[in-house]
Amino acid sequence: MKETETMIIHGLRKQDPKAQQQLLELYGDYVWASVVRLVSDVSDAEEVYQDVFIKVFRNIEMYDEQKAALKTWIARIAYNESVSALRRKRQPTVYFEDYRDEAETLSETEVNETLGLANQETVQQIRAAIKLLPPDEQAIITMFYYDEMSLKEIAFATDSIPTTIASRLSRIRKKLCRIIKTQQSCERTIIKNYG
């Protein structure tokens, strides 16, 4: 652990406002980026962001540097708060079971071809498809690709184990691929019929 983090944690445990400000400066942008990727409505994201740091400040005594880095512990709180906010909103979602038969037949090569093309259109399609996932799946895919968290860190944040996360990531990627292929098929049909 960095000396700066150790000092901040010590200050937070004493409820020092200066330590709270230092923590916000150190991890505020990271938490905001993590939250807003999942909770796209800005006012809702601001509320979640505030809730994350309130929980961090109130629960700093529960932080154990032997279990996870401070950033990972904060990411866990951000994950839980974001998923809770998404569940309260009850956005339309697509569950794996909706595409189970079709998604299970996809090869990793096909998934990589669909998701791996780094052009503007594909990025937009992936972002739109992610919004259709259940909250916990949105969070896992976001933590892995956007936040570049390791499987171990994601497992800690989601109270799971790395092998389960690896399996879920594979299924989620297949589901995203199937959603994108379905959307592309619909677009081609509309263009064909209504030109």
Asked whether residue 42 carries a pLDDT value surpassing 90, the answer given is: yes
pLDDT at 195: 55
From residue 100, give the alpha-carbon distance in Å to each of 32, 96, 166, 175, 189. 33, 6, 17, 8, 23
Structure confidence by residue, pLDDT tens digits, 80-116: 999 999 888 765 555 545 555 554 566 666 666 666 6
Mean pLDDT of 53-67: 94
Largest CA distance in the chain: 67
Cβ pair 105, 185 in contact under 8 A: no
If pLDDT is split at 50, 70 and 90, which confidence band does 131 have?
confident
The pLDDT confidence band at residue 118, using thresholds 50, 70 and 90, is low
Mean per-residue pLDDT over the chain, rounded: 84
Judge whether residue 11 has pLDDT over 70.
Answer: yes
d(CA 156, CA 62): 14
pLDDT at 181 over 90: no
pLDDT bracket for residue 173 (50, 70, 90): confident
| Phi, psi of 132, deg, nearest 5 | -85, -10
Predicted confidence band at 129 (pLDDT cuts at 50, 70, 90)?
confident
Half-sphere exposure of 36 (CA within 13 A, CB side): 9
**Contact present, 34 and 86 (Cβ < 8 Å):** no
**Tokens (6 digits) for 84:** 């809770």
Across residues 27-33, what is the average pLDDT? 95
* 3-class DSSP state of 105: coil
Residue 164, amino acid:
T
